[in-house]
Chains A and B, each alone.
Chain A
Amino acid sequence: MTPRLGSNWRRYLSFFGRRPERDVDDELAFHVQARVDEYIATGMDPEAARAATLVRLGDLTRYRGETLAIEQQEQRRRTMSNVAHSVIGDIRFGARQLGRNLPLTIAALLCFALGVGANTSIFSVVNAVLFRPLPFPDSDKLVVVTEGVTKLAADISSISAPDLLDYRETEGRAFRSLALIRRRDVTIAVNGEAEVIPGAAVTPSTFKVLRVAPAVGRVFLDADTVAGAPLVVVISDGLWRRRYGADRSMIGRQITLSSGTTAEVVGIMPSGFAFPMPGLGMPVADIFLPFRFSPAVLAQRADNFGALAIGRLQNGVSEERAESSLAEIVRQLPQRYPDSWGKSQSRGGTPLIHVKSMRRTAVGDSRRPLLVLLGAVGFVLLIACINVASLFIARASARKREIAIRRVLGATRGRLTQQFLAEALLLLAAGSVLGLIAAHWGTQALVALAPGNFYSSFDVSVDSRVLAFTGGLTVLTALVFAMLPGFHGRSSDAEQSLRTEGRSSTANRTRQRGRRVLIVTEVAFALMLTIGAGLMLRSLARVRAVNPGFDSDNLVTFNINLPATAYGDVDRIKLTERQIVQRLREIPGVTSASAASGLPMQGDWLIVFTPEGPPQSQSPVAANTLVLPGYFEAMRIPLRAGRLFSERDTKSAPSAVIINETLAREYYGSGNPIGRQFKWGPRDSPGPLSEIIGVVADVKQRSLDEEPSPAVYHAVLQQDTGVNVSIYRTLAYVVRTRLAPASVAAAIRTAVRGVDPKLVVLNVRPMDMIVGQTIETRRFNATLLGLFAALALALAATGVYGVLQYSVIQRRREMGIRIAIGATSSNMIALIVGQAVRLAAVGVAIGLAGAFALTRLIRALLFNTDPLDGLTFVASAGVLLVIAVLSSYLPARRALRIDPLIAMRAE
């Protein structure tokens, strides 16, 4: 046993390499030693024993290689657990590294949390509105049925209620069931405080179509719709909680409607049930009443197209097939009902029918703005990521010595990347958690602030798709982050980096270039966003500047409903309404007052009319308003020709109408329309001919951003009985005051009570607010986009600042030399600011090109604004350049403060 030999062998074996092979080498060394020992024991001399042993063993190099190959294969299988192990180490190391530079870590965290939060919020809404099914079971079978009349110069998005009874013949074949919904707001008076509750009259089948059961109690039965049945209502969870304190004993309780009738609450819908929805043309209802096919309703066949028809398709039935089976019935309607559909067909042409998915109908026009917002918020995240990446690169440069040493010591690029990845993932995971928390609030805020409760009728919540989206974002960003610093530690650089570290008088050019590319990208994206937001805000400003056709300042509006129980007589209605107007005018500070069947921007009432002259190919349609005398004066709608209604335009006077300029131009040509004939109704209807007494200016009927359309005004005082009674029983009043609108509300109530103490004043609102609401969606989208653009600008400013600041630090030796050889302050500032402006200019050029290509996508969202609006482009570019100059100010000051002596000694 000679230790010398053993150690020799070990030395020989260690020639092959180091650690992983040690076990195999030990094993072989043991064998060699044992054999040598044995030969020596038989009397051989050690040299001969060693030689014999080697012969005996054979080609040791080869056998060792084979053994190792087998072992290494084993090794590879163990790699997975090793990786897991090293990842834990990396995470610990990463956490230490992140903790060491807390301001940087927090900045990165905030950037990312902001980006992820905003993205997840918008995506939650996009997901709910565009991707997720409507919140009803099996909702892809839900459809909306709409009728049309070929020759009508307007679209109908609903049906004439009685037709539903005919369509229900398809139940069991194309449709599982069909239902009808009609808007019916209800005024509930509790303790003298009246409140208008958005409501809907629905057929009992509605709940079957939607497949939603009440949370408590029952929904409607067919028995509830029979004439004379006691009135029952179903209320929403929201109303139950808000108004009745979530009292379980509400079921069976009678509630009093302001009209004096009482209704029994029979059911409460579950929370989250939101129906109808704004996209279907009706607000979400808080109270449901049974819809009754009363004789009055049945009398309006082929007329009064104001009912929403929905249906649930039979399994396996397509929308097209459902439509064709309804079309069969529609074709028979003129024969079945010659008095209504028969006549309608002869003058209006063939009736049409459409079946469209409820989801598509509900989403409507909201698709594009949502996608634009999603794109915008994606840009913000991108800019945030670039910022964070740039921070990381700055740090990687600061750590380049560490990286270089580790590379020289044998760390592979993969290993280093893995480490950076762990660090980035740690940061981003924390950022994502923060972002998700932010997104929770953000989503709630979006839903709450969105105009008209639009999003609340969709199922907006964080689901697996949203989580996957956020997770995907995180991983993607982490990968990018890990790659960027990894590239900076390329092996070829490593040695050089170690060598030059001590003496770098100017910044490393390649590294600088990398960061500059990031900043240029950032500026470009920020500019695109700014231009997009600029265009939207410019559109908003233009819409707000639109003249609605009347003066909405200091104009207060409210509604009064004269209950049918107390006001059955037509003349009494008219008298009371005139008395109310008279009292209103007597209020101190009130300059004028009047009333109309409906006010602009609050929904319109379209009628078919017949102008003087030859028959038209299409039945003309106009928005109709019944007005009391003084209406145009109070609204300050300018008179263009003729005269306005006066107190003398009553039933005893010849029937008179006032038309707007658009109607005059489109249907009465260039000649003076005053004194010419006008008929409310189709050509062959029995209605009286009226004389046009005046032409007034166009008024925006539905919203500020619409095109002018024909409108006609009739005098309330000339109306007779019939269906119109219910319309002028519920007038909207307008009061123009010299005082603040809010201050006259009490005086208005007193004045109305002076006429009849039982009357309830509803919806007292300044007209400004009503006008504003019509552009609420536009304002909302523009504000959000503006917010994102502001965020992008702030991030871009930080990015430019960061790069310059870093470059000043990196080049402080160079700066020191410059100052030492006599560079002036202005030289130095020009140097730094010039760098910023050059970077920004390149970014601006790219951003302008990008905006040029992209703004076409938002053309549909703009109002009177060219997607290539020069002013917006120039101003946005200017803003970015100014920001670049401003954000270079601090770094420039820092450069000026450099003490040449210290700077040159610094490294």
Chain B
Amino acid sequence: MRISLLPIDILWEEPNIPRDTLREPAVSTSLDLLQGTLDLLVLRTLSWGPAHGYDVARWIQDVTGDVLRVEEGSLYPALHRLEKRKLLKSSWGLSRNNRRAKYYEITAKGREALASEASAWSSFTKAVATVMTSAERPEWAK
């Protein structure tokens, strides 16, 4: 099982997802989220404490000012996948308005993964940012 959460995971073909669902292009007006990135966001969100899927969606939306506009449905494969990798654990509980809801909680293993992936993420974004912001022209363009 792959442990890496790097965004490069986009190349990762999950063998258990039916092929036609993978082939279908994600049609979305908002920024396409790399799969690994969503995992990172979920882990980070849950690091504040147990929450159900809707809370997670709301939190990401609130914090980012809805810039990412994550398709909320995509959260659930991510949550279940993380749970399967034992980075999360879940239990059924009651929501604030007394409805049956599934609560997710980050595990110790999840926290470890979050720590290592977060630093990998920041070096990744930093590298991307460097490229994006660099004013120096490449050799062949001079």
Contact = CB atoms under 8 A, between A and B. Distances in A.
Partners in one complex: yes
Interface of A: 1, 23-24, 26-28, 30-31, 33-35, 37, 56-60, 62-67, 69-74
Given A35-B54, A57-B73, A63-B74, A30 B84 contact: no
Contacts of B101: 27, 30
A66 B52 CA distance: 18
Interface residues of B, number: 27
Contacts of B102: 23, 26-27, 30
A26 to B, nearest CB: 7
Contact of A33 (B14, B72, B81, B99): B99
7 contacts: A27-B102, A30-B95, A35-B54, A58-B28, A65-B17, A69-B16, A70-B80
Contact of A62 (B73, B80, B97): B73
Nearest to A74: B84
Interface string B8-49: 000000101110010010001000000000000000000000
B18 A69 contact: yes
A70 B35 CA distance: 15
Given A63-B74, A63-B77, A73 B21 contact: no
Contacts of B21: 62, 65-66
B57 interface: yes
A175 B115 CA distance: 72
B100 A73 contact: no
Given A35-B54, A65-B21, A60 B95 contact: no
Nearest to A63: B73
A654 to B, nearest CB: 106
A67 B71 CA distance: 14
A57 B53 CA distance: 12
B76 interface: yes
A37 B99 CA distance: 12
B99 A30 contact: yes
A64 B21 CA distance: 11
Contacts of A35: 54, 72
B95 A31 contact: no
A67 B21 CA distance: 11
B23 to A, nearest CB: 11
A74 B97 CA distance: 31
Contact of A56 (B24, B72, B99): B72
Contacts of A28: 73, 76
B95 A34 contact: yes
Summarize A's interface: helix, strand, loop or mixed: helix
Nearest to B82: A70
A31 B16 contact: no
Interface string B77-96: 10011001000000000010
Contacts of A66: 17, 21, 76-77
A119 B24 CA distance: 63
A520 B100 CA distance: 65
Given A28-B76, A30-B101, A67-B77, 7 more contacts: A24-B80, A30-B53, A34-B54, A57-B73, A66-B76, A69-B14, A72-B16
B99 A24 contact: no
Given A27-B76, A58-B72, A62-B21, A70 B81 contact: yes
A58 B100 contact: no
B90 to A, nearest CB: 9
A30 B54 contact: yes
Point out which of B16, B53, B84, B100 has the most chain A C-beta atoms below 10 A from its C-beta. B16
Contacts of A69: 14, 16-18
A31 B57 contact: yes
Given A30-B95, A30-B100, A56-B72, A71 B80 contact: yes
A60 B97 CA distance: 24
Nearest to A77: B84
B52 A30 contact: yes
B102 to A, nearest CB: 5
Contacts of A67: 76-77, 80
Interface string B56-72: 01000000000000011
A37 to B, nearest CB: 8
Point out which of A23, A35, A65, A67 has the most chain B C-beta atoms below 10 A from its C-beta. A67
A58 B17 CA distance: 17
B16 A70 contact: yes
B77 A70 contact: yes
Contacts of A74: 84
